[in-house]
Structure 1
């Protein structure tokens, strides 16, 4: 495990997350991930710390309202969010500071058929 740090574009939101330097990242095809071109990795809540910017975050939800899409009110960047698949986990891949990631393995997840995909997916459920 290594400590990764990251944040939004303007610097108002900063976080740290403990995870492997070798990231297992998901490419989801659900409607919001497709529009945002979002890739994500999942870590348990106890390995994520928001260092600053709570007051600068706003949240978007839709459909089941389980996923919490948080983003910076100033620059609009989503540094992390709470996914529907793992509501006790956090996702924060694209806003990590350089220097701590050694490799990235990308796995596709069919978010267009979310319920069906979650039933058969072998790794995502156990990541948080």
Structure 2
């Protein structure tokens, strides 16, 4: 079992604050489904009971579409996607890694897998696929 710690996270304006029990080594991924491709967030998964909203729960708005199984939570003030309960893993929250204190998504995760949400695991005979990898190459200077 890997070492974990409680990490703080928040939306851009700070009205929504939460904390989650996360592994020391974060391994975020992205997804190419219709909503994830638009929001572009790098997600880190935790069990539902490993995330606690500590402030601004009343500022969270929930967006659902299509099957209405996934629940996407965002700050109603600044619009930042904080976390969602995934359709493929309803026992987990996918936390927007950019909301976690101390995380620099581009610098910390230069190569990131992109899950194939277009061919969703629940619509694809249970097969989970990787669509590819997103690479970030920092310019010199």
**Matches of 1:50 and 1:88, distance apart in 2:** 17
Residue deviations 1:57-108 (CA, integer Å, cap 9, x gap): 1111100101111111110111111111111211211200117x9x657322
Q: Equivalent residue for 1:44?
A: 47
TM-score scaled to structure 2, two decimals?
0.77
In the alignment, which of 84, 88, 91 is matched to residue 91 of structure 2? 88
Structure 1 regions of 5+ residues with no counterpart? 123-128
Segments ≥4 residues shifted beyond 2 Å: 103-108
Q: Equivalent residue for 2:127?
A: 120
The structure whose residues are more often helix, as a share, is 1
Q: Equivalent residue for 1:18?
A: 21
Structure 2 regions of 5+ residues with no counterpart? 130-141
- Computed over aligned residues only, the root mean square deviation of the Cα atoms, in angstroms, reads 2.0
- Written as runs of structure 1 = structure 2, the 5 A alignment for 1:74-113 is 74-92=77-95, 93-98=97-102, 104=109, 106-113=112-119
Indicate the structure whose relative CO is greater, using CA pairs within 8 Å and at least 6 residues apart: 1
Matched residue pairs, number?
119
**Matches of 1:46 and 1:38, distance apart in 2:** 22
TM-score scaled to structure 1, two decimals?
0.84
Determine which structure has more spread, i.e. the larger CA radius of gyration: 2
**Matches of 2:56 and 2:99, distance apart in 1:** 14
Once the two structures are TM-superposed, the CA of residue 120 in structure 1 deviates from its matched residue by: 2.1
**Matches of 1:14 and 1:47, distance apart in 2:** 14
